[in-house]
C-alpha cells in the first residue's frame, strides 16, 4: 500500500518536470525564431562593443560642435560661442546655422552638403550601433544643424545660396568666428548662373536626411524631401557647372564635373521616395552615360561615383527582385564596379591598388591625404555588411575569393593607422590617445578665448610657437605625406587643417566598427 501511494506522486512530478521542460524548449525556440525574424529585418542585436572605437567615435563626434555657426545650444565646447548670427540677413534669410568648413570661417555649400549626405548615410546604416554607445542623438542633432541651414539656403525652387563669406577676404584674416569683423557676402546659383553639382549634392543631402528624420519628425522629413525634389529638378533642368557660373570657387572646391552628383542625388531620391523615375534615371536613362561602369575611382567631396556604386549595390543586394529587368541589369553593372573597387582596396588582391604607403595606408593626394583612406574604409565596411546581411559568402577578385571579413579587416587597418598605429605613433584624431597634433591649423583653436584681435593682428597666434590654447577635439587633420611623415606646424595647412567632411567620414567608419550587427535591408 505504501508503494502504491508513492507511484501517483512520482508520476505527477514527472508530468510537471516534462511540462516545464517543454515550456523551456518552446521559449528557447520562440527566442530563436524572434531573433531570426529580427535578423531578417536587419535589426539584430549588436555584438560586443570595441571600446577603442567607441572612445574614438565619441571624440570624433565633438568636432561637429567645434564647427557650428549660429546661436549655440548646450554646447559641449567651452571655448566656442555664438557666431555668424547675421549671416544672410541682408538678403532676408537666416543662414546663421550650418558649419564652418575647416580651419576658417567660410560656409561652402558644396562640401557642407557632402558632409550632411555622408553623415546621413552613416546614421541610416549604423544608427543602432551609434545608439549602443550613446552617440545617435548627437549625430542626429549635428545633421539637423546642417539641414536647417540648407533648407533656409533654398528659398525658392531654382535658387540656392551656396556660400557665406568671401574666401579671399576670410583667408587674409586670422580671427575667432565669435569676433569676425568682415562682411559676409552671399553667393547663389540660379537659372542664369546654374550650379548642377552643388544643387544635386544638396538634393542628395536633403533626400538622405529625410530618411533619417522620417520616424522622428515626419513634417520635417517631408519638407526635406520636397526641397530635395525641387533641387534635383533645378540641377537637372538647368545643367551647368558651378565652377563655370561662379569662377571664384575654382581655387577652393573646384568641380571636375556634375554627372556623378546627378546620379548620387537621383539614387538617394529613389530610396527616399520609392519613385521609380529616379531609378530609371540612374539605370536606363543615364547609367551607361554617367556611371563610369568598370572604371572605379576614389570617393570624395568632388567624386560621388564610388558612393553611387555602393549605394546601388545595396539595392541590388536587397531589392533587385522588385526591379524591372532592364534596370536590374544596370544595377548589376554598378555592383560589378563597386566590387572592382573593393578588390582594389584589399592589400592581397591580385588587383590591389598601388596607391598606398609602405605601412598600408591608402594614399592618393598630398592635400588632406586621410580623406581617401577613411572614405574607402567606410565604403568597405558597408559592402562587407551588405554581403553578410544578404548571405553573400565571397567576393571574387580575378579568381581569388575573399570573405566579408577581409573587407572589414582592411577598414580596421586604415582606422587603426589613423588612431596611432603608424610610423609616427601619432593619432591623427585630435584628442584621442596621448600623442596627437597640438598645432592644428584652426583659427578658433589657436586664439585664446579672452584675446581681442582684429583682422590682421590675429596672425600673431597663427605664428605663435605655443601649442593651441583650445583643443579642437575630434578634428581629423589632413594627414601624413606618402613617406608617412607629418609636421605638426600651424602654418602647415596641407597636413594640419581639419575639415567637417573628414569628420563625417571618420564618424561613419567608426560607427561601422564600434560593434557588429546586420544592416537594415531597407531604410525607414
How far is the C-alpha of 345 from the C-alpha of 353, rounded, in Å? 6
- The cell for 344 is 582594389
- The cell for 106 is 567660410
Residues in the chain: 524
35 is catalytic: no
388 close to 404: Cβ distance less than 8 angstroms: yes
- The cell for 240 is 551647368
| CA 508, chain centre distance (Å) | 5
Answer left, alpha or beta for residue 428, where phi above 0 means left and psi between -120 and 50 means alpha. alpha
The catalytically annotated residue of 138, 406, 441, 442 is 441
260 is catalytic: no
CA distances from 431 to 74, 230, 475 (A): 20, 41, 8
Q: How many beta carbons lie within 10 A of that of residue 482, not counting itself?
A: 15
- The cell for 17 is 518536470
Q: How many beta carbons lie within 10 A of that of residue 191, not counting itself?
A: 12
497 is catalytic: yes
Q: Cα-flanking dihedrals φ and ψ of residue 108, to 5°? A: -95, 120
- The cell for 438 is 597640438
276 close to 265: Cβ distance less than 8 angstroms: no
500 close to 111: Cβ distance less than 8 angstroms: yes
In sequence order, what are the residues at sequence separation of 6 or more whose Cβ sits closer than 8 angstroms to the Cβ of residue 235?
194, 195, 196, 197, 199, 200, 203, 258, 261, 262, 265
How far is the C-alpha of 110 from the C-alpha of 362, rounded, in Å? 24
How far is the C-alpha of 200 from the C-alpha of 185, rounded, in Å? 23
379 close to 303: Cβ distance less than 8 angstroms: no
Provide Rg for the chain, Cα atoms: 25
Element counts in the chain: helices (H) and strands (E): 20, 5
184 close to 97: Cβ distance less than 8 angstroms: no
372 is catalytic: no
370 close to 381: Cβ distance less than 8 angstroms: no
The catalytically annotated residue of 65, 87, 101, 104 is 104
Angle of CA points 179, 184, 188, to nearest 5°:
150
DSSP for 211-265?
A: HHTTTT-HHHHHHHHHHHHHHHHHHHHS---HHHHSGGGHHHH--S-SHHHHHHH
- The cell for 353 is 591598388
The catalytically annotated residue of 87, 125, 236, 497 is 497
- The cell for 46 is 549588436
Q: How many beta carbons lie within 10 A of that of residue 359, not counting itself?
A: 13
How far is the C-alpha of 480 from the C-alpha of 427, rounded, in Å? 11
Q: Which of 448, 503, 441 is nearest to 145 (CA)?
A: 503
* Active-site annotation, residues: 104, 441, 488, 497
Amino acid at each position: 500500500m505504501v508503494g502504491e501511494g508513492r507511484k501517483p506522486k512520482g508520476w505527477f512530478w514527472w508530468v510537471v518536470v516534462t511540462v516545464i521542460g517543454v515550456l523551456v524548449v518552446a521559449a528557447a525556440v520562440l527566442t530563436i525564431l524572434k531573433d531570426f525574424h529580427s535578423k531578417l529585418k536587419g535589426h539584430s542585436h549588436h555584438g560586443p562593443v570595441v571600446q577603442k572605437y567607441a572612445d574614438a567615435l565619441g571624440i570624433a563626434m565633438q568636432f561637429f560642435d567645434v564647427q557650428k555657426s549660429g546661436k549655440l545650444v548646450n554646447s559641449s565646447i567651452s571655448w566656442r560661442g555664438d557666431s555668424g548670427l547675421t549671416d544672410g540677413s541682408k538678403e532676408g534669410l537666416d543662414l546663421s546655422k550650418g558649419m564652418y568648413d575647416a580651419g576658417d570661417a567660410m560656409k561652402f555649400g558644396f562640401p557642407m552638403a557632402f558632409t550632411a549626405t555622408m553623415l546621413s548615410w552613416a546614421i541610416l546604416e549604423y544608427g543602432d550601433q551609434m545608439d549602443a554607445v550613446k552617440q545617435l542623438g548627437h549625430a542626429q542633432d549635428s545633421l539637423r544643424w546642417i539641414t536647417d541651414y540648407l533648407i533656409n539656403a533654398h528659398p525658392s525652387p531654382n535658387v540656392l545660396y551656396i556660400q557665406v563669406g568671401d574666401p579671399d577676404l576670410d583667408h587674409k584674416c586670422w580671427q575667432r568666428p565669435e569676433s569676425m569683423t568682415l562682411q559676409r557676402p552671399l553667393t547663389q546659383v540660379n537659372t542664369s548662373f546654374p550650379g548642377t553639382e552643388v544643387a544635386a549634392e544638396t538634393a542628395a543631402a536633403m533626400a538622405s536626411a529625410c530618411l533619417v528624420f522620417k520616424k522622428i519628425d515626419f513634417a520635417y522629413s517631408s519638407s526635406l524631401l520636397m526641397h530635395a525634389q525641387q533641387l534635383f529638378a533645378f540641377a537637372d533642368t538647368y545643367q551647368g557647372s558651378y565652377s563655370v557660373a561662379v569662377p571664384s570657387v575654382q581655387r577652393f572646391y573646384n568641380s571636375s564635373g556634375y554627372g556623378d552628383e546627378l546620379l548620387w542625388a537621383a539614387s538617394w531620391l529613389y530610396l527616399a521616395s520609392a519613385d521609380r523615375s529616379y531609378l530609371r534615371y540612374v539605370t536606363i536613362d543615364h547609367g551607361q552615360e554617367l556611371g563610369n561602369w568598370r572604371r572605379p575611382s576614389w570617393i570624395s567631396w568632388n567624386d560621388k561615383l564610388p558612393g553611387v556604386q555602393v549605394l546601388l549595390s545595396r539595392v541590388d543586394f536587397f531589392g533587385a527582385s522588385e526591379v524591372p529587368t532592364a534596370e536590374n541589369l544596370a544595377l548589376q553593372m554598378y555592383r560589378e564596379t563597386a566590387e572592382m573597387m573593393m578588390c582594389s582596396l584589399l592589400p592581397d588582391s591580385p588587383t590591389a591598388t598601388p596607391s598606398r604607403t609602405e605601412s598600408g595606408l591608402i594614399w592618393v593626394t598630398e592635400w588632406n591625404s586621410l580623406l581617401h583612406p577613411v572614405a574607402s574604409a567606410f565604403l568597405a565596411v558597408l559592402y562587407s555588411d551588405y554581403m553578410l546581411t544578404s548571405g553573400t559568402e565571397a567576393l571574387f577578385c580575378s579568381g581569388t575569393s575573399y570573405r566579408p571579413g577581409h573587407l572589414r579587416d582592411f577598414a580596421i587597418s586604415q582606422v587603426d593607422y589613423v588612431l596611432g598605429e603608424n610610423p609616427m605613433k601619432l593619432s591623427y584624431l585630435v584628442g584621442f590617445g596621448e600623442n596627437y597634433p597640438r598645432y592644428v591649423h584652426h583659427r578658433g583653436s589657436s586664439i585664446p578665448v579672452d584675446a581681442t584681435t582684429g583682422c590682421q593682428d590675429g596672425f600673431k597666434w597663427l605664428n605663435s610657437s605655443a601649442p593651441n590654447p583650445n583643443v579642437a577635439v575630434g578634428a581629423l587633420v589632413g594627414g601624413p605625406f606618402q613617406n608617412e611623415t607629418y609636421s605638426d606646424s600651424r602654418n602647415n595647412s596641407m597636413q594640419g587643417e581639419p575639415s567637417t567632411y573628414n569628420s563625417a567620414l571618420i564618424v561613419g567608419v567608426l560607427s561601422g566598427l564600434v560593434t557588429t550587427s546586420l544592416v537594415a535591408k531597407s531604410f525607414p
